[in-house]
Chains A and B, each alone.
Chain A
Amino acid sequence: MKKDSVRGWRDVFNFTLGQTLKSKAYIGTLIFMIVLSMVSMPLMNVFMGNTVEEEIEKSSIEKVYLSNMTVYQSLDIAAELPESYQHIEFTAAKEDMETLETRLLEEEENSVVLTLKEDDMYCYIQFLCSPEGDASNYELQMLGQYVQNAYTKAKVQLLGLTEEELQFFETSVVTSASVVDTQSAVVLEDTSITEGEYWFIYGMMFVVLMVCVMGASQVASSIVQEKSTRVIEYLLTSIRPLAIIVGKVFAMLVAVMIQLVAMVVAIFVSTKIGELVSGESGNVIAQFLTPEMLASLNAGNIILGLVVAGAGMVFFSILAGLCGATASRMEDANESLTLLTTLSLVGFYIGYGAASTLMASGENAFVTFALIFPLSSSFLLPAALLVGKAELWIALVAIAVLLLSIVLMFKFVAKVYEGLILHNGNRLKIKDVFAMAKEPKKQKVKKGENA
């Protein structure tokens, strides 16, 4: 790859990035992603019932008729209630349900009937209230939570457990199986991941896949557009084809990175807003990302992860550029991306298989392969680094392999791109592209191209 071949790539980069950032589609997507990220945390808080207790200054429920059909008759519900619920009067329901219903409807609209039942599997907490009453669904949900706490405590007391014993009982269990020799030295460490780590890796892989495919597709469609509008002919009087693809790939990389960073910032802001509103430190994400999981979350690993993800995007974008150049009409653009879609999915599934393997049996040769193989490393490695399941040497080897693949891809593209870019006609097949690479001088363009 000669320096002259990429001369002018910065001009392509500046123009492509500028136009992408100005485009309505990009701005629309960016706004959508930011809004979605901003509302995501408060929404998750709402859906996961992690909202503010302080919102209820004084519950509108005045009286509770308790029909306790469980074996635990000495429930101390009042002990579980916060200040806002302390005024509620609890009375055993002595009348039948019909009479109580009539009373709620006609006289005591702010009273509720609470029925507690249980079977071998579950405990049921049911509320009956007047439609005219002021009690909100949320107030009832919270009251249900306090009743559930009282019920659990009653069960624990029945078993004769102390608070400390209960805490010990509730401690989460992490299984680890290491092999030791006769001197008790570990010869085979357990490297498997927890379910939480598995879902974290899976989620991260999905995000990287989306980023790579989004960026790469935009590179391809931009190239097809230049071919179909014949702008390419004008460009080629000033720069070489390779400069066009290099400029576009890096412009799209930056454009997608801007979207990603905006999303991350929006999520951060959203989390902070959630904390301010709820008055609680920590957030929904923290419930999933335990301190153990993120023990490896440091600047070095984050940078390495970003480098790998970025290199992966460059890799797939070059591939997309090649795919885009095989088509000369916009209607062929989607079809031309078959190779890109196939290879990115192959890479994703290899990574997915490796993540499953990590959970089932820990690190092995397949996992190491998936962490280094360029198709899968860009998806798997960033997440694996963040959960501490990829050592530094693996990350460095993977980056080296990715960079080597990118250079080789650029060389291949340089060989065939000149012929491809001016091809005008039916979409070229992969075998035609390889034929071009083999015989660059004799046959740059498939027979049948418009002369």
Chain B
Amino acid sequence: MLEVKNLKKQYGEKVVVNDLSFSIKEPGVYALLGTNGAGKTTSIRMILGMLAKNGGEVLWNGKPFSAAFMNVGYLAEERGLYPKYSLLDQLLYFASLKKVPRKTAMERIKYWAERLQVTEYIFPPKAVKGKQAKANRADQLSKGNQQKVQLMAALISEPEFLILDEPLSGLDPVNTDLFKGIIREEIAKNKYLIMSSHQMPTIEEFCTDITIMNRGEAVLQGNLNEIKKSYGRVNLFVKSDSEIAPHIQKFGLRVVEKLPSEYHLKVKDERQAREFLASMMQNDVPLVKFELREPSLHEIFVEKVGDNNEER
């Protein structure tokens, strides 16, 4: 179990992370959300022990946590590979730092290279006469392929705890699905994961618990389903073939967003929604869609962070 208690970081007088606490009691994915500069990466660096803390502590099963002495996998937001060195050499180096025996490391590299479809770059065939040798250095790879190699580096030690900082940014839909599949597999292996992302649907897809950070502080924390439930089903989506604006005005509903053929409305409670539906039915309004649901994570995030997404 991971416990983060009262984490604090300040540079001079500027507090960039203040009193951040959360815990991951069971295997699964914990999400750290926030705008750019909210303090997510700084928090992750403090959790990993890369950055000195000004306060607080990080515990793993009740003992001080140190990434350097534990089997932790980390996919950093800003990917890092040696541009000019052979990819295989780099992966073997990263494995040796994690104390993975060379033979095991080689087997895992082959496995992951196959899975992530980068075998030709990690093990490039020798140059044949007249043909150029395949790229085997990071600076010769596309961004997506570099990201795959980086993910291999994070997974090569089969870590029990994995931190993924923006794992899907910059990936095409095919590779996004590939990464998602691997993340699902890691979850299935009962691992502890922390994920930071701006892609709310991805967070909703994987995470059970979340912390939303704003200006270094946790503004919302807890189980995602419970948070959503606490907001209630107040989001109403109505689509009709005829104009329904007079009906909306009559009921005094707030229009959140008006799409070409659909309204996103805010109701006080489920009762008001039912009354609105009954009124429409009485007046023979042809309805195509009438959906009442909890707010999405995206909506909660925007509500909590709002316009305070100032870059640090």
Give the interface of A toward B (CB within 8 A). Answer: 4, 7-8, 11-12, 14-15, 18-19, 23, 225-226, 229-240, 418-419, 422, 440-451
Contacts and interface: CB of A to CB of B under 8 A. Distances in A.
Given A15-B89, A422-B45, A451-B41, A235 B54 contact: no
Nearest to A444: B52
Given A441-B54, A451-B16, A236 B48 contact: yes
B76 A444 contact: no
25 contacts: A7-B68, A7-B69, A11-B97, A15-B96, A19-B89, A230-B80, A231-B82, A233-B78, A234-B74, A234-B150, A234-B153, A235-B97, A236-B68, A237-B68, A238-B67, A238-B94, A239-B68, A422-B51, A441-B52, A442-B54, A445-B51, A447-B14, A448-B11, A451-B39, A451-B312
List 3 tightest A-B contacts by C-beta distance, closest first: A230-B80, A447-B12, A238-B97
A3 to B, nearest CB: 12
B42 interface: yes
Contact of A231 (B17, B81, B216): B81
A451 B89 contact: no
B74 A233 contact: yes
Given A11-B97, A443-B12, A237 B83 contact: no
Given A236-B48, A238-B68, A451-B37, A11 B82 contact: no
Nearest to B67: A237
Interface of A, secondary structure class, is loop
A342 to B, nearest CB: 29
A131 to B, nearest CB: 52
A440 B78 CA distance: 26
B13 to A, nearest CB: 8
Contacts of B76: 230, 233-234
Nearest to B37: A451
Contacts of B81: 229, 231
Given A11-B97, A446-B11, A237 B51 contact: no
A11 to B, nearest CB: 5
Contacts of A232: 80
Contacts of A234: 74, 76, 80, 94, 150, 153
Contacts of B72: 237
Contacts of A4: 68-69
A418 B94 CA distance: 20
B303 to A, nearest CB: 24
Nearest to B79: A230
B78 A230 contact: yes
A371 B312 CA distance: 52
A11 B41 CA distance: 27
Interface residues on B, range: 35 or more
A375 to B, nearest CB: 31
Chain A CB within 10 A, most for which of B9, B68, B84? B68
A239 B85 CA distance: 20
Given A11-B96, A422-B45, A236 B79 contact: no
Contacts of A450: 312
Contacts, number: 102
Nearest to A230: B80
A440 B52 contact: yes
A191 to B, nearest CB: 52
A238 B73 CA distance: 9
Given A234-B94, A446-B11, A451-B312, A18 B51 contact: no
B16 to A, nearest CB: 4
Contacts of A15: 89, 93, 96
Interface in B128-185: 150, 153
Nearest to A19: B85
A419 B50 CA distance: 9
Nearest to A11: B96
Contacts of A444: 51-52
A299 B76 CA distance: 52
A352 B58 CA distance: 54
Contacts of A442: 54
A280 to B, nearest CB: 48
B54 A236 contact: no
A61 to B, nearest CB: 57
Given A18-B89, A233-B74, A422-B50, A238 B98 contact: yes
A4 B96 CA distance: 16
A14 to B, nearest CB: 7
A86 to B, nearest CB: 62
Contacts of A12: 97
A440 to B, nearest CB: 7
A239 B50 CA distance: 10
B42 A236 contact: no
Interface string B246-290: 000000000000000000000000000000000000000000000
Contacts of B14: 447
A226 B82 CA distance: 7
Given A418-B51, A447-B13, 12 more contacts: A15-B93, A15-B96, A230-B79, A232-B80, A233-B50, A236-B48, A236-B50, A236-B67, A237-B74, A418-B50, A447-B12, A451-B42
Nearest to B16: A451
Please indicate which of the listed interface residues A230, A234, A441 has the most CB atoms of chain B within 10 Å of its own CB.
A234
A213 B93 CA distance: 27
B80 A237 contact: no
Contacts of A443: 11-12
Contact of B11 (A19, A231, A441, A447): A447
Nearest to B41: A451
Contacts of B78: 230, 233
Point out which of A226, A238, A442, A445 has the most chain B C-beta atoms below 10 A from its C-beta: A238
B265 to A, nearest CB: 39
B48 to A, nearest CB: 6
A422 B11 CA distance: 13
Max count, chain A CB within 10 A of own CB: residue among B41, B48, B82: B82
A229 B82 contact: yes
B17 to A, nearest CB: 8
Nearest to B52: A444
B158 to A, nearest CB: 14
A236 B44 CA distance: 12
Nearest to A231: B80
B52 A419 contact: yes
